[in-house]
Structure 1
Amino acid sequence: MDPELEAFIPFFPKADLVDLVAARESLSKLAAAVPAPDLSDMEVEDRMVPAEPDVPVRIYRPHRAQGALVWMHGGGWVMGDVDTEHPWAARLAESSGAVVVSVGYRLAPEHRFPAALDDAYAVLAWTAEHSAELGVDPERIAVGGHSAGGGLATGLALRSRDEQGPSIRFQLLNQPGLDDRQETWSARHFTDTPWMTRDKVTAAWGHYLGGAPASPYAAPARATDLSGLPPAYIATAELCPNRDEDIAYAVRLLQSGVSVELHQWAGTFHGSQALLSAEVSQRQIAELGAVLRRALAG
Structure 2
Amino acid sequence: MRFIERVAPELKQGLALNPQFQLPEDLAKARTIPPNDVTQSQQVRITNRQILGADGQSMLLRVYEPADKDEDALPALLWLHGGGYVLGNPSVDDGICQNFVESAGCIVFSPDYRLAPEHPFPAGLEDCYATLVWVAGNAAELGIDVQRIAIGGPSAGGGLTAALALLARDRGGPAICFQMPLYPMIDDRNITPSSYEITHPAVWNRANNLAAWKMYLGEHANGEISPYAAPSRAQSLAGLPPTYTCVGQLDPFRDETLEYVARLAQDGVDVEFQLYPGGYHAFEHSVPDAEISKRTKDGYLNALVRAFRGQSRNSGGN
With the shorter chain as reference, the TM-score category is over 0.9
Residue 245 of structure 2 corresponds to residue 250 of structure 1: no
2:63 to 36, 59, 65: 59
2:88 to 67, 80, 102: 80
**Contact preservation (8 Å) 2:104, 2:304:** yes
Residue 301 of structure 2 corresponds to residue 297 of structure 1: no
2:232 to 221, 228, 232: 221
Q: Aligned residue for 1:147?
A: 155
d(CA) in 2 for partners of 1:127, 1:249: 27
Tell me how many residue pairs correspond in the alignment.
293
Aligned with 1:226: secondary structure?
Answer: coil
Structure 2 counterpart of 1:283, which letter?
R
Residue ranges of structure 2 left out of the alignment (5+ in a row): 1-6, 311-318
Over 3 Å counting, the alpha-carbon distance change for 1:193 and 1:261 in structure 2 is farther
d(CA) in 2 for partners of 1:179, 1:123: 24
Using the TM superposition, give the Cα deviation of residue 92 of structure 1 relative to its aligned residue in structure 2, in angstroms: 2.1
**Contact preservation (8 Å) 2:84, 2:212:** yes
TM-superposition CA deviations, 1:35-82 (whole Å, max 9, x none) = 3242x2232221112231232111111236631011100001111112
d(CA) in 1 for partners of 2:44, 2:138: 18
Residue 29 of structure 2 corresponds to residue 12 of structure 1: no
TM score, norm. by length of structure 1: 0.94
**Contact preservation (8 Å) 1:140, 1:169:** yes
Query: Counterparts in 2 of 1:276-295, with a 5 A limit?
Result: 276-295=288-307
TM-superposition CA deviations, 1:103-145 (whole Å, max 9, x none) = 1100110000000001000000011111122222101001111
**Contact preservation (8 Å) 1:95, 1:286:** no
d(CA) in 1 for partners of 2:92, 2:175: 28
Residue 51 of structure 2 corresponds to residue 49 of structure 1: yes
Structure 2 counterpart of 1:158, which letter?
L
Q: Aligned residue for 1:21?
A: 28
d(CA) in 1 for partners of 2:274, 2:193: 18
Using the TM superposition, give the Cα deviation of residue 9 of structure 1 relative to its aligned residue in structure 2, in angstroms: 1.8
**Contact preservation (8 Å) 1:49, 1:57:** yes
Structure 1 counterpart of 2:191, which letter?
E
d(CA) in 2 for partners of 1:9, 1:152: 26
d(CA) in 2 for partners of 1:253, 1:284: 21
2:166 to 154, 158, 162: 158
Q: Aligned residue for 2:130?
A: 122
Structure 1 counterpart of 2:306, which letter?
R
Aligned with 2:308: secondary structure?
Answer: helix
TM-superposition CA deviations, 1:182-240 (whole Å, max 9, x none) = 11110122122642111111011011011413200010000001111101001111111
Aligned with 2:62: secondary structure?
Answer: strand
Runs of 4+ aligned residues of structure 1 deviating over 4 Å after TM superposition are none
Residue ranges of structure 1 left out of the alignment (5+ in a row): none
Aligned with 2:272: secondary structure?
Answer: strand
Structure 2 counterpart of 1:91, which letter?
N
Using the TM superposition, give the Cα deviation of residue 22 of structure 1 relative to its aligned residue in structure 2, in angstroms: 0.2
Residue 142 of structure 2 corresponds to residue 134 of structure 1: yes
User: What do you get for the CA RMSD once the two structures are aligned?
Assistant: 1.4
